[in-house]
Structure 1
Amino acid sequence: MNQARYLTLLTYLLILTTSGCTSSDAPISLDSVGIQAALASIEPSAIEYHMSVLSDDSLQGRAPGTPGYESAALYAQAEFQRMGLQPAGVNGTWRQDVPLRHSTVVEEESRFSVWTPVGTQNMTYDEDFYLAADPVREKAEIELAEVVFVGFGVSAPDLGYDDYTEADVDGKVVMYLNGAPSFLPSNERAYYSSGATKTSEAISRGAIGTMTFWAPDDPRLRWNVNAARSKRGAYAWLDPSGQPNRGHDQIRGSASLNQSAAEALFQGAYVSLEDAIASAQAGTPQSVLLATRVSISTTTIHSNVESWNVLAKLEGSDPKLKNEYVSYVAHADHFGVGVNFTGDSIYNGAHDNASGSSIVLEIARAFKSLPEPPSRSVLFMIVTAEEWGLLGSDYFVHNPTVSQSGLVANFSLDMPFLFHPLRDIVPYGAEHSSMGESVAQAAAHMGIAIGPDPIPEQVLFIRSDHYSFIQQGIPALFIKSGFETGDQRDGGEINTAFRQESYHTPFDDMSQAFDFGAGADHARVNFLTGYVIAQEENRPTWNAGDFFGGLFAGS
Structure 2
Amino acid sequence: MKSILAIALFTSLLIANPLSAKTPKADPERIRAHLTFLADDYLLGRETGSASYEIAARYVASEMQQIGLKPMGDGGSYLQSVPFKQATLDQTSPVFEIIGPKGKEALTFLDDFAIGASVLEAESKVTAPLVFIGYGIEAEPLGHNDYANVDVQGKIVVVLSGKPASFPTEEGAHFNSEKRAAASRHGAVGMISLSSPESEKRFPFARNREYVHIPTMRWVTKAGTPAKTYPNLQNRAGVSIEAGKKLFANSGENLDSIFEKMAKGEPINAIDLKLSAHLAKKSIISDITSPNVVGYLPGSDKKLAAEYVVFSGHLDHIGVANGHHDHGDIDESGETGEKMDTIFNGAMDNASGIAIMLETARLFVQQRKAPKRSIIFLAVTGEEKGLLGSDYFAHNPTAPIENIVANINLDMPLLTFDFKNVVAFGAQHSSLKQTTERALKPLKLSLIDDPWPSQGIFTRSDHYMFVKQGVPSIFLATGQDSFNKEEDGAAAWADFLKHQYHQAGDDLDLPINYTAAARFAQVNYQIGLTVANDRRRPSWNKGNFFGQLFGKTE
Equivalent position to 1:265, from 247, 257, 262: 247
Q: 1:518 to 1:269 in 2, by over 3 A?
A: farther
**Matched residue SS, 1:453:** coil
1:382 is matched with: 379
1:37 is matched with: 23
Cα distance per residue 1:358-382 (max 9 Å; x no partner): 0110110111111000010000011
**Matched residue SS, 1:464:** coil
Alignment check: 8 A CA contact 2:430 2:540 kept = yes
How far apart, in 2, do the equivalents of 1:222 and 1:48 lie? 34
How far apart, in 2, do the equivalents of 1:309 and 1:70 lie? 10
How far apart, in 2, do the equivalents of 1:185 and 1:241 lie? 37
Q: 1:60 to 1:240 in 2, by over 3 A?
A: same
1:208 is matched with: 189
Q: State the shift of 1:73 in Å.
A: 0.8
**Matched residue SS, 1:508:** coil
Q: State the shift of 1:554 in Å.
A: 5.1
Alignment check: 8 A CA contact 2:110 2:208 kept = no
Q: State the shift of 1:179 in Å.
A: 1.7
Range 128-137 or range 160-169, more displaced: 160-169
Equivalent position to 1:464, from 442, 456, 461: 461
Equivalent position to 1:246, from 228, 236, 252: 228
Alignment check: 8 A CA contact 1:45 1:516 kept = yes
Alignment check: 8 A CA contact 1:176 1:212 kept = yes
Number of aligned residue pairs = 518
Cα distance per residue 1:72-100 (max 9 Å; x no partner): 11111111111111111122111111111
How far apart, in 2, do the equivalents of 1:184 and 1:113 lie? 34
Letter in 2 for 1:237: W
**Matched residue SS, 1:274:** helix
2:46 is matched with: 62
Alignment check: 8 A CA contact 1:162 1:285 kept = no
2:429 is matched with: 432
1:8 is matched with: none
Equivalent position to 2:357, from 331, 336, 360: 360
2:401 is matched with: 404
Q: Which consecutive residues of structure 1, in runs of 5 or more, have no partner in the other structure?
A: 1-32
Letter in 2 for 1:75: Y
How far apart, in 2, do the equivalents of 1:488 and 1:160 lie? 47
Q: State the shift of 1:36 in Å.
A: 7.0
Letter in 1 for 2:62: A
How far apart, in 2, do the equivalents of 1:424 and 1:259 lie? 39
How far apart, in 2, do the equivalents of 1:497 and 1:278 lie? 29
Q: State the shift of 1:226 in Å.
A: 2.9
Q: State the shift of 1:438 in Å.
A: 0.7
2:61 is matched with: 77
Cα distance per residue 1:404-429 (max 9 Å; x no partner): 22111101100022232222222111
1:499 is matched with: 497
1:232 is matched with: 214
Map 1:73-222 → 2, pairs under 5 A: 73-143=57-127, 145-194=128-177, 197-218=178-199, 219-222=201-204
Q: 1:491 to 1:266 in 2, by over 3 A?
A: farther
Letter in 2 for 1:173: I
Alignment check: 8 A CA contact 1:179 1:457 kept = no
How far apart, in 1, do the equivalents of 2:179 and 2:490 lie? 29
Alignment check: 8 A CA contact 2:318 2:384 kept = yes
Larger RCO, structure (CA 8 Å, separation 6 or more): 1
Q: 1:485 to 1:176 in 2, by over 3 A?
A: farther
2:294 is matched with: 311
Cα distance per residue 1:228-275 (max 9 Å; x no partner): 213212111112332111322211110021223212212233221111
Equivalent position to 1:546, from 534, 540, 544: 544
**Matched residue SS, 1:108:** coil
1:419 is matched with: 416
Q: State the shift of 1:432 in Å.
A: 1.0
Alignment check: 8 A CA contact 1:61 1:346 kept = yes
How far apart, in 2, do the equivalents of 1:465 and 1:395 lie? 11
Q: 1:34 to 1:162 in 2, by over 3 A?
A: farther
1:27 is matched with: none
Q: 1:201 to 1:134 in 2, by over 3 A?
A: same
- Say what the alpha-carbon RMSD is for the aligned residues: 2.0
Alignment check: 8 A CA contact 1:425 1:450 kept = yes
Range 125-134 or range 280-289, more displaced: 280-289
Q: State the shift of 1:471 in Å.
A: 0.7
Q: State the shift of 1:156 in Å.
A: 2.2
2:476 is matched with: 479
Q: State the shift of 1:324 in Å.
A: 0.7
Alignment check: 8 A CA contact 1:179 1:192 kept = no
TM-score (ref. length: structure 1): 0.89
1:452 is matched with: 449
Letter in 1 for 2:265: G
2:12 is matched with: none
Letter in 2 for 1:71: I
Letter in 2 for 1:423: K
Share of identical aligned residues, percent? Answer: 36
**Matched residue SS, 1:60:** helix
Alignment check: 8 A CA contact 1:426 1:452 kept = yes
Q: 1:131 to 1:423 in 2, by over 3 A?
A: same
1:14 is matched with: none
**Matched residue SS, 2:369:** coil
**Matched residue SS, 2:292:** strand
How far apart, in 1, do the equivalents of 2:432 and 2:305 lie? 19
Alignment check: 8 A CA contact 2:315 2:379 kept = yes
Map 1:13-28 → 2, pairs under 5 A: none
Q: State the shift of 1:329 in Å.
A: 0.7
Q: State the shift of 1:489 in Å.
A: 4.5
How far apart, in 1, do the equivalents of 2:267 and 2:151 lie? 14
Alignment check: 8 A CA contact 1:181 1:281 kept = no
1:30 is matched with: none
